Structure 1
């Protein structure tokens, strides 16, 4: 498939009530293993990618290294690839657009793009984040790629539990050109139900303690379920245990 075909297939996998399951990878090897297991698409986790290279999450991993890793993933698997691109590695809309154009050249068809101020505090204002999403959409349009922009809000991650704020952001991000709405940290079924019913784009929930099961998320209407850094953490824990036994 061409990159454009992969982008269209990836978008079509986001179905309300029949969520695409994304078991997040951190390098070409883990991506291939996940693809071989039957995954319909491959997603990276910024936390896992950074940790696997000895960096902390939060754009500490140099962008050139991040690009190299996602390039190898896209070249290794035939599935659509979406990249956790954090805050886009820039606060400047022009530089952000250039970054997007460059990673599109690597063959990816989707990104996660968060509203947390990565190198600062709190979240971007709604209007400011919407303008950043618009810059990304314009950059993708110039390249002719229907990029799936999974607009992430961190309203539920250390910033309270404000459903109304999340809904306001979901609508604004959709109007700015976002394709999906990623709400990590949301756990309460009624909150998830409201987000799904009142947000005009597919909703993504992340697996973590206290989050309903995947079956229940499907019943609530979620269109995408991702595992974040969970697989990496579990894999490293298993590796550590086996190494401890072998070396003791």
Structure 2
């Protein structure tokens, strides 16, 4: 078992914050997070590109190159692999592993489950040590059909996925059923309106991702600060000192 896989413990889940650049990743690592993910929305928005449209392949690889040697375990949100051809997805995964990533998140975006399973298998052939978190979008952008969710996750597990991810699922009973059904880690996206981290732990979840939440909160804080100053009020919240942010350039 790799060090990253060992962090996935049902009942004591890995809380995975997601970064969008060097500073955000190293700042999170400085807070004691042993693993950091990337957020496809954050990477896309920061570069003026659409999310989920296979438009950020180069930017994602460039970020992985920047972060892969950091003092934390890196897992990369690779959307649907940036290609339909499984071999091309496998090659991209090999490149991620070569620059230091230990995991990859692959979403099916409700495409054919057989094609997504083939991508997973190709990744495991090309980069056997990479932890593949196989995501289904049945709840994120589909109709939340429990039967279809299980069929897809079963196929992805059979293809070699190391973990399964169901963003958009917030029903505690359904989460507990999936956690008990699979012998590989279940990943849930934290929803501010859904179960808390402690509740998800009780349900048997092994990994809780923050997705784009931190990026969106950072943008929200910037807008709030600008609005406060415009209105003549002291800015709310806290901000790292200039020197602390400047020090992140050296990976401290």
Structure 2 residue runs without a partner (length 5+)? 232-252
Helix, strand or coil: the match of 1:156?
coil
1:132 lines up with 2:132 in the alignment = no
Helix, strand or coil: the match of 1:205?
strand
Question: How far is the alpha carbon of 1:201 from its aligned partner?
Answer: 1.1
Match of 2:8 among 14, 19, 23: 14
Instruction: Count residues with an aligned counterpart.
Output: 231
Map of 1:86 onto structure 2: 79
Helix, strand or coil: the match of 2:211?
coil
- Whether contact under 8 Å (2:54, 2:80) holds in the other structure is no
Helix, strand or coil: the match of 2:125?
helix
Map of 1:199 onto structure 2: 182
- Whether contact under 8 Å (2:190, 2:209) holds in the other structure is yes
Q: Distance in 2 between matches of 1:49 and 1:190?
A: 33
Answer with 34-43 or 128-137: which moved more.
128-137
Map of 2:65 onto structure 1: 71
- Whether contact under 8 Å (1:174, 1:200) holds in the other structure is no
Map of 2:250 onto structure 1: none
Question: How far is the alpha carbon of 1:31 from its aligned partner?
Answer: 0.3
1:167-214 residue CA offsets vs partner (Å, 9 max, x unmatched): 122221111110000000001111101110112210000012432011
**Which TM-score applies when normalising by structure 2?**
0.87
RMSD over aligned CA atoms reads 1.5
**Which TM-score applies when normalising by structure 1?**
0.89
- Whether contact under 8 Å (1:181, 1:203) holds in the other structure is yes
Q: Distance in 1 between matches of 2:64 and 2:230?
A: 33
Map of 1:34 onto structure 2: 28
Runs (4+) of structure 1 exceeding 6 A deviation are none
Match of 2:96 among 84, 103, 106: 103
- Whether contact under 8 Å (1:171, 1:200) holds in the other structure is no
Question: How far is the alpha carbon of 1:53 from its aligned partner?
Answer: 1.9
Question: How far is the alpha carbon of 1:103 from its aligned partner?
Answer: 1.7
- Whether contact under 8 Å (2:49, 2:56) holds in the other structure is no
Q: Considering only CA atoms, is the larger Rg found in Structure 1 or Structure 2?
A: 2
Question: How far is the alpha carbon of 1:246 from its aligned partner?
Answer: 3.7
